[in-house]
Amino acid sequence: MASEQTLDPVTFEVLKNSFITSVDQMGEQVLRTCYSFVIYNHDFSSALHDADGECAAQGNQDIAVHVGTLHFTCKDVMRAFEGDMHDGDVFAINDPYAGGTHFSDVRLIRPIFSGGEIIAYAQSNGHWSDMGGSVPGSFDVTARDMFREGLRITPVRLYDKGVFRRDVANMIASNTRDPASIIGDIQAQAQGTAVCAREILRLVEKYGRETVKTGLAEVQDYVERAVRQRIAALPDGTWETVDYIDRDPAGGEGMIPIRIKMTIRGDKAYYDFSGSHPTIASIYNSAFGATFSAVAAGMKTFFPDLPLNSGFYRAFELTVPEGSIVDAKWPVAVTGFLMPFEKIMNSIYEMWSELMPERALACTFNLEYLLTGGRDARSPDKPIFMFYDWLPGGWGGRNGKDGANVTTSCFGTGMMAQPIEGQERTTPILMTECQIQTDSAGPGEWRGGVGVLKGSKMLQSEDTVISYICDRERAIVWGIEGGLPSIPHGLTLKRVGTDETVRLGTIFSDVSLKEGDHFWRPTGGGGGFGDPLKRDPAHVLEDVVDDYVSVERAAKDYGVVIRTIDAELCEYEIDEAGTQALRAEIAKSRVEWAREDPEAVAGRFQAGEIDMMDVIRRHAVILHWGTGELLPESTRQFRESFERRSVAKWAAA
């Protein structure tokens, strides 16, 4: 239990905010000096730890996926070098089995000395664009163990009393496809930790060492007290939900469940993952650290005004079945941990939405990573290039507000959408389109945010391959309180010289590309909140004008009949009588639609009588979107979710 505050309020507030600022300054140093385009677009985080390795401060732009893991890796370095740390030392680690995320997230940790003792640690974590392994970008979805994922760095000393150990750094960098950038990022992150150390020592000089040490402890106690007080004000009880990974590549057809039971008891929250699926034959597994971080990030969304540190972590507890998809052990592959990570976050959103309906939030779109690498033939030297791309999408509808449009994912809201001009300059890839994806938002009384569609075309390159990690092609972004789902993710490829397109979907690696090949993929919107038949027709009309919703889907999803006067001038009008009649017809028929025989639905889709969105939003059926084949087990699971989150809410209304 947190102790009472001993610092006077003014000193406490100054130190609390100064600690956060020191972390922000560390991040700014990394941002301004990094070599990697990935890190430059904010795929990095920083932290300040106390002498015990507990997190005392995060920055304002640190991304959700990292924040709950940094104290684990700090403590692992402390254990490895206990009694053998010196002023000027910097250590590296990327070990997901020691509480990290995946090999690409490499952490540099600097002990901060004052008066001959360690009073704190500064940690900089950056996502390196390549860590070796079997494919460029180190995301091989077919990997079943870590040996195809890249280089595992257990705690190692990179700076020895201030001296850069170039031999160790070169060994690490030489196991990647972009060693020059790796060396640059090491130095940028190391200097970032030096900036943080400088700021902490400045505070020591001003306030004294003991006062700063007390402040590092009391900022954690403050957060713990605040969170526990708020939880204690909530009703005790238990809430349960389940979300899914699309599939196990080595298993049969059917989605992979992640089950969570949350119990509020007194002033603490307990999360039990019993019943979650064992690890699967892919990189879509999560080690404990990442699972812990997903719970922390999801729960923190409902306490936005509080700073984040280890005091927050004391207010909840996890139970995870060993060897499950949420507690993978060495050497199980975990590079794609972000797929279970976002399922956990959205499950936390759903359960806390029942506790705090004023902050309710439907499911957000799923982060996706596109990795293309090869030789850049635009240059005579033909250097290796890495196109490492991610897209924004839609967040879930909220209680009283539409979801955020074209926003980075819940996985890391501090991340930026990468500038196309920078991508085209650094890689032999032309972006052919990047635009809002009409009808991608999940319909609801408050619709989800919209996603985007991005197309890319290969230019002069050699030995190029593409890999893609994503999800929610089958476990499609869902709505709550009667809201409807979004659209499936998935990449489509058109080979140069052909008119045929091939849907590669969301999980493939090491597919060869040639100059002129064209590929594109959408991101889903957020799930809808509330019954779409209750949405104000004027809001639907505005969505049509903005090209967020088509005239056709306005009728099918919202029951709003809109007449087109002049599409070029965005002139439309609502057919009031037609809307009233159509809404009555949909209300009478939609439960029956949602329970129609899946085989019949698949047949109608294959015959062209209904489209993909009809299949998903009206009939709650999951098909192989490339062939139209019915996926019966995935449909059963999806329908259970649809019945609970949507159909049951219509009946209650």
How does pLDDT run across 214-259, given as a tens digit for each residue?
A: 999 999 999 999 999 999 999 999 999 999 999 998 888 999 999 9
507-513/461-469 β-pairing: antiparallel
The per-residue pLDDT for 41 is 85
The per-residue pLDDT for 82 is 97
φ, ψ for residue 39 (rounded to 5)? -65, -40
For the ranges 84-98, 369-383, 605-619, the lowest mean pLDDT is seen at 369-383
Neighbours of 524 (CB within 10 A): 32
Q: Which two tokens stand for residue 355?
A: 């506790």
Which residue is associated with the tokens 């010196």?
Answer: 86
Q: Is the dihedral of CA 165, 174, 191, 215 positive or negative?
A: negative
pLDDT at 438 over 80: yes
What number is the average pLDDT over the span 579-605? 97
Which residues touch 213 (CB under 8 Å, ≥6 apart)?
50, 51, 119
**Residue 412 vs residue 362, higher pLDDT:** 362
Which residues touch 249 (CB under 8 Å, ≥6 apart)?
141, 142, 280, 281, 282, 507
The per-residue pLDDT for 66 is 87
The per-residue pLDDT for 67 is 83
pLDDT at 81 over 70: yes
pLDDT at 428 over 70: yes
How does pLDDT run across 355-401, given as a tens digit for each residue?
A: 999 999 999 999 999 999 999 999 999 999 989 899 999 999 999 99
pLDDT exceeding 70 applies to what percent of the chain?
Answer: 100
The per-residue pLDDT for 2 is 73
Strands, DSSP E only, in 100-202? 105-114, 117-127, 156-160, 163-164
Query: How deeply is 329 buried, as exposed, middle or buried, from its count of CB atoms within 10 A (0-12, 13-18, 19+)?
Result: middle
The per-residue pLDDT for 185 is 96
How does pLDDT run across 542-569, given as a tens digit for each residue?
A: 999 999 999 999 999 999 999 999 999 9
> Which one, of 507, 505, 523, 520, lies nearest residue 409 by Cα?
523
Q: How far apart are CA 103 and CA 554, in angstroms?
A: 45
Q: How far apart are CA 635 and CA 611, in angstroms?
A: 16
Q: How far apart are CA 510 and CA 62, in angstroms?
A: 31
Q: How far is CA 574 from CA 363, 561, 562, in A?
A: 29, 6, 5
The per-residue pLDDT for 240 is 97
Note the residue count of the chain. Answer: 653
Query: Angle at the Cα of 289 (from 285 to 293), degrees rounded to 5?
Result: 100
Q: How far is CA 339 from CA 180, 247, 257, 345, 363, in A?
A: 30, 11, 12, 10, 14
The per-residue pLDDT for 89 is 98
pLDDT band, residue 161 (cuts 50/70/90):
very high
Element (H, E) at 539: helix 537-545
The per-residue pLDDT for 403 is 97
The whole-chain average pLDDT of the chain stands at: 95
What number is the average pLDDT over the span 571-589? 97
pLDDT band, residue 1 (cuts 50/70/90):
low
What number is the average pLDDT over the span 576-597? 97
pLDDT at 612 over 90: yes
Q: How far apart are CA 371 and CA 178, in angstroms?
A: 14
pLDDT band, residue 653 (cuts 50/70/90):
low
Helices (H) and strands (E) in the chain, counts: 18, 22
Neighbours of 226 (CB within 10 A): 18
CB 631 within 8 A of CB 620: no
> Which one, of 514, 422, 533, lies nearest residue 465 by Cα?
514
pLDDT exceeding 90 applies to what percent of the chain?
Answer: 91
Q: How far apart are CA 278 and CA 637, in angstroms?
A: 17
pLDDT band, residue 497 (cuts 50/70/90):
very high
